[in-house]
């Protein structure tokens, strides 16, 4: 579904942040993107979202690139950003309504999915609130609600667990699994290795903008020459060079 081939990119041509990345996200698959701060996780995500232009390489989603058909490309992706970004002038429900409108859902779908999601994340009481009264966790929940409302074929999640309460983390993971079972592909960047190991089918360990190790924990161990190593051990092995 998502094919990233030889992707290099960054903010200035002379200083690429990511180098020659090649990986896929298939339907029914959750792929974990891990690495230390500054390894290039968020930059990779920005390229896939089309917010940054690759220097070389290509990104295709279900066979087409963003240049070929930006509207079609974007309508297949939903994104949960690392830092919640909300409209000061819209209430929680209006955020969901705007998202539904922009992604071409109908009103009935909004009502059904929206009500269920609000219930799951215990946000029913806040539907008419403006975001300036929300805590960091609540703002993050709004991002999650909007992304799951869209039900895209590819979901990109950037470090979603920070600031969420344990109950919300649990619900989020349950929903991710549910979406995966329904056939979506998920690309998730996180520092929480235990969760990544437990939930992801594939892992990509980035270091200095390059893919250091890739695959299941076993294959990554073999790649590193450390069979039977845990993900934590592999991570530290790579991070310390």
Partner 1 sequence: MWRKGEQEMKTKNLFRERRNASWQTGLRYFRIIAGSGGTPLFLLLVISLSAYLYTLLLQKLPHDFPVELLLALLVALVVTPCSVRTFIKEPDTVFLLPMESHMKPYFTASLRYSIVIQVITTVFLISLLYPLYRARVGEVDTFLLILVGILLLKAWNIYSYWQSLHYQIGRLLHPYLRFVINFSLAALFFYREMAWWIWLIFLLALTLFTWMDHALSDRNRVPWYLLVEKEEQKRSSYYAIANLFVDVPQVLFRIKRRRVLTWLIDHLPFKQKYSLLYLYLRTFIRHNIYLGIYFRILLVGVILISIIRNPWLVIITYLIALVLNGIQLPSIVSHHQRHIWVQLYPLAKSVKKASFSQLTFGLLTIQSVFMILPLLFQKENILFSLHLFLAGLLLCYGLSYHYLPKKVEIIRG
Using CB under 8 A, list all residues that contact partner 1: 49, 51, 70-75, 77, 79, 81, 85, 87-90, 94, 97-104, 106-107, 130, 132
Nearer CB in complex with partner 1: 105/123: 105
Please give the DSSP secondary-structure letter assigned to residue 190: -
Please give the DSSP secondary-structure letter assigned to residue 153: S
Nearest approach in angstroms of CB 48 to partner 1 is: 11
Nearer CB in complex with partner 1: 77/196: 77
In angstroms, rounded to a whole number, what is the distance separating the alpha carbons of residues 4 and 59?
5
In angstroms, rounded to a whole number, what is the distance separating the alpha carbons of residues 182 and 23?
22
Nearer CB in complex with partner 1: 22/72: 72
Nearer CB in complex with partner 1: 49/239: 49
In angstroms, rounded to a whole number, what is the distance separating the alpha carbons of residues 117 and 181?
18
Residues 6+ apart with CB under 8 A from 162: 82, 140
Nearest approach in angstroms of CB 76 to partner 1 is: 8
Nearest approach in angstroms of CB 85 to partner 1 is: 5
Nearest approach in angstroms of CB 198 to partner 1 is: 29
Backbone angles phi and psi of 26, in degrees to 5: -100, 160
Nearer CB in complex with partner 1: 132/181: 132
Q: Give just the sign of the alpha carbon dihedral 174, 30, 66, 209.
A: positive
Nearest approach in angstroms of CB 35 to partner 1 is: 22
């Amino acid at each position: 579904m998502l094919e990233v081939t030889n992707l290099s990119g960054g903010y200035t041509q002379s200083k690429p942040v990511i180098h020659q990345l090649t990986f896929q996200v298939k339907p029914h698959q959750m792929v974990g993107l891990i690495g230390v701060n500054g390894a290039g996780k968020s930059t990779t995500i920005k390229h896939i979202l089309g917010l940054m232009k690759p220097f070389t390489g290509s990104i295709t989603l279900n066979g087409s690139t963003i240049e070929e058909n930006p509207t079609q490309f974007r309508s297949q992706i939903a994104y949960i950003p690392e830092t919640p970004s909300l409209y000061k002038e819209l209430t929680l429900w209006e955020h969901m309504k705007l998202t539904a409108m922009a992604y071409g859902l109908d009103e009935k779908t909004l009502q059904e999915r929206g009500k269920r999601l609000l219930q799951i994340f215990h946000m029913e009481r806040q539907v008419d609130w403006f975001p300036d009264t929300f805590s960091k966790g609540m703002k993050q929940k709004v991002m999650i609600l909007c992304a799951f409302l869209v039900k895209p074929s590819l979901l990109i999640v950037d470090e979603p667990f920070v600031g969420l309460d344990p109950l919300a983390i649990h619900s989020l993971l349950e929903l991710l699994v549910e979406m995966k079972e329904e056939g979506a592909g998920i690309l998730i960047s996180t520092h929480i290795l235990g969760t990544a190991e437990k939930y992801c089918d594939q892992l990509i360990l980035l270091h200095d903008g390059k893919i250091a190790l890739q695959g299941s924990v076993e294959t990554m161990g073999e790649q590193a020459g450390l069979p039977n190593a845990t993900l934590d051990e592999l991570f530290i092995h790579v991070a310390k060079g």
